[in-house]
């Protein structure tokens, strides 16, 4: 059995390519790297890789992480600039026993020494979005809270599980701000003897519940991935509302080592992509109805509209 699940519709083409690799016996880590690189390279996604929206100083600072569910090796980069594929750097760092999470100039120095591809990640479309936002907000720049990180969980034919994330973080964030995506247990976690999970949404709140670790812990206790995702999201949402009066966006995907999966969200409009041995890769939309998260296949119309809106011409 092989399988792959990822946050958001944007992952469909990436996990389709990764799924083909898994079908032909590739290792989970190789398939996951391919899936996330495809998303990082696609210029029309505004929250991952090239085309990601910048911080308040108009710089694209990227976060990414990789975890091997067999060995618990973890590699992560945070606030890295000017490298095409942060996931590749994170995966390479996971081979290190120390210095495996690097930030900013340290991450860039490492990536340079290791020969990773340099690229100015600020696209013309991202510059237009930035200028529009500056005009809209006049003097007061605030981070834009809505956000789509890509998080992928993969299971290969040898039963190995890995997880990876990649994001440009919040639009208009402070320089140096780091979200949940490169933080173990928050943005991602994988244990091949159990399963893996990844999160997307407001990093500041996702980190308050170490939500990806919590989902894997719940699966280890015997919960199906769907129940584990719902318990983790509903509990964190309720705790945040009780203690702080509000909860940010919390959305998660998870898969166990049998290829069974689960998803949960506390927002409208969360989508995910999944491909499994013997099934056609597909996108689903998720709704939280009184704590139960149900998902339905995205219609052709929804899929077409998604791409049209992402790729529509922009004017200043």
Residue ranges that bind ligand GLY, judged by CB under 6 A? 147, 149, 167, 169-170, 179-181, 200-203
Closest distance of CB 180 from ligand GLY, Å? 5
- Annotation marks residue 149 as catalytic: yes
- Closest residue to ligand GLY, based on beta-carbon distance: 179
Comparing CA positions, the residue from 106, 109, 121, 135 lying closest to residue 55 is: 121
- The owner of tokens 């992480």 is 65
Closest distance of CB 134 from ligand GLY, Å? 20
| b/e sequence 132-154, b meaning 16+ C-beta within 10 Å | ebeeeeeeeeebeeebbbbbbbb
Closest distance of CB 83 from ligand GLY, Å? 17
Q: Are 199 and 206 in contact (CB under 8 A)?
A: yes
Question: Which pair of tokens denotes residue 282?
Answer: 């597909």
Helices (H), the chain: 12-23, 28-41, 86-93, 104-113, 124-137, 203-206, 211-220, 225-244, 300-311
Closest distance of CB 178 from ligand GLY, Å? 7
When the beta carbons of 179 and 185 are compared against ligand GLY, the nearer one is 179
When the beta carbons of 2 and 189 are compared against ligand GLY, the nearer one is 189
Strand order in the sheet with 261-265: 188-191, 195-201, 250-256, 261-265
When the beta carbons of 160 and 208 are compared against ligand GLY, the nearer one is 208
Catalytic residue among 149, 165, 167, 200: 149
Strand pairing category for 62-68 and 161-167: antiparallel
When the beta carbons of 22 and 102 are compared against ligand GLY, the nearer one is 102
Q: Which residue numbers are catalytic?
A: 149
């Amino acid at each position: 059995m092989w399988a792959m699940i990822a946050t958001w519709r944007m992952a469909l083409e990436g996990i389709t390519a990764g799924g083909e690799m898994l079908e032909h016996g590739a290792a989970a880590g190789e398939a996951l790297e391919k899936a996330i690189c495809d998303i990082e390279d696609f210029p029309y996604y505004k929250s991952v890789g090239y085309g990601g929206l910048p911080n308040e100083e108009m710089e694209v600072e990227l976060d990414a992480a990789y975890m091997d569910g067999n060995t618990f090796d973890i590699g992560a980069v945070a606030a890295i600039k000017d490298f095409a594929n942060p996931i590749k750097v994170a995966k390479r760092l996971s081979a290190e026993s120390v210095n495996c999470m690097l930030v900013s100039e340290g991450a860039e120095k490492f990536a340079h020494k290791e020969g990773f591809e340099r690229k100015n990640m600020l696209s013309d479309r991202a510059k237009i979005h930035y200028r529009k936002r500056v005009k809209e907000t006049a003097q007061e720049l605030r981070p834009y809270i809505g956000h789509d990180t890509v998080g992928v969980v993969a299971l290969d034919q040898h039963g190995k599980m890995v997880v990876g994330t990649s994001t440009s973080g919040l639009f208009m964030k402070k320089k140096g701000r780091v979200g949940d995506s490169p933080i173990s247990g928050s943005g991602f976690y994988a244990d091949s003897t159990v399963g893996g999970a990844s999160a997307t949404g407001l990093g500041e709140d996702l980190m308050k519940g170490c939500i990806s670790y919590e989902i894997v812990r719940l699966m280890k206790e015997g919960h199906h991935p769907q129940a584990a995702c719902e318990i983790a999201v509903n509990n964190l949402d309720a705790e945040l509302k009780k203690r702080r009066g509000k909860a940010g966006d919390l959305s998660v995907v998870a898969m166990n080592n049998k290829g069974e999966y689960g998803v949960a969200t506390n927002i409208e409009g969360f989508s995910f992509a999944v491909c499994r041995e013997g099934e056609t890769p597909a996108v689903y939309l998720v709704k939280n109805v009184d704590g139960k998260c149900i998902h339905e296949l995205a219609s052709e119309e929804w899929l077409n509209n998604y791409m049209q809106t992402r790729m529509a011409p922009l004017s200043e």
